[in-house]
Amino acid sequence: MTIRSSIVEPGIRAVTQDFPPVNALPTAAWFDIAKAMREAGEDPETRVVILRAEGRGFNAGVDIKEMQRTTRFDALIGANRGCYEAFKAIYECKVPVIASVQGFCVGGGVGLVGNSDTIIASEDAFFGVPEVDRGALGAATHLARLVPAHKLRSMYYTSQTITAQELLQYGSVQRVVPREQLEEATLEFAREIAKKDTRVIRAAKEALNGIDPVDVNRSYRFEQGFTFELNLAGVSDEHRDAFVETGENLDS
């Protein structure tokens, strides 16, 4: 179980999540993603980063079972801080980040792809933020970068998911391909960026971040404040305990 970072082709670095069975990341892994992204941006040989995952799905969010095994609020604080750092590092990475998404991408996974620059997805990919069902809030900031305002509210209140094909129609996903073609399709797009003058691309990334209408870092941190309130009230524990007891089907 690990976060791996490696050059896969000249100028192209892949950061890979590998936490079977569903890539629900423990606290340390979120910090590892942040570290990998910061290092990638500082590496002059890296022109573009692919954020990908092994297994049947891209990311199932925070490891709730880890959180429920701990006492006090240490795991909650760690997970919230780790997610904040991971999302922030992707957004502020000095080179473009391409999310290569297969299967499920939920909860914290939406935070990862929402702060990426481009999304390439497989035909079976779907996205959602089930935080309301977990007694928490968060990643609405990032879901808002994928869907229109009223769609966001409908999805958030109901914990409904949306397919990659639907996001393609919104322009949020760049391309949707059969799963067996996902790796090559992502590399194909990465190569287009990697062959550009990296000095210009790095300047473009900074410029595009500078004209964003929403400060995503501050916006997400604001959301997290409500998660802390729900935890202090005991609401979140009730929902997380129920989740641990019943589990969840991530196949649809």
| pTM score | 0.94
* 2-9 and 12-18 strand pairing: antiparallel
Residue 228: per-residue pLDDT: 86
The per-residue pLDDT for 250 is 58
Higher pLDDT, 237 or 51: 51
Q: Return the pLDDT at 237.
A: 76
What is residue 66's predicted lDDT score, i.e. its pLDDT?
A: 79
* Tokens coding 158: 């109901």
Which H or E run contains 194?
helix 182-194
Q: Which residues are within 8 A (CB) of 182 and not within 5 positions of it... i.e. 6 or more apart?
A: 100, 102, 120, 121, 122
Per-domain residue ranges of the chain: 2-178+198-246
Instruction: Look up residue 230 and give its two tokens.
Output: 């729900």
72 confidence band (pLDDT: 50, 70, 90): confident
Q: Is 177 helix (H, G, I), strand (E, B) or coil?
A: strand
**Domain boundaries 2-178+198-246, corresponding CATH code:** 3.90.226.10
For a pLDDT cut of 70, what percent of the chain falls above it? 98
* pLDDT above 60: residue 252: no
**Residue 208 and residue 116 in contact, taking contact as beta carbons nearer than 8 Å:** no
Please report, in angstroms and rounded to a whole number, the separation of the first and last CA atoms in the chain: 24
Span 88-93, average pLDDT = 98
The reported pLDDT for the residue numbered 248 is 57
3, pLDDT greater than 50: yes
Nearest to 73 by CA among 240, 219, 245, 220: 240
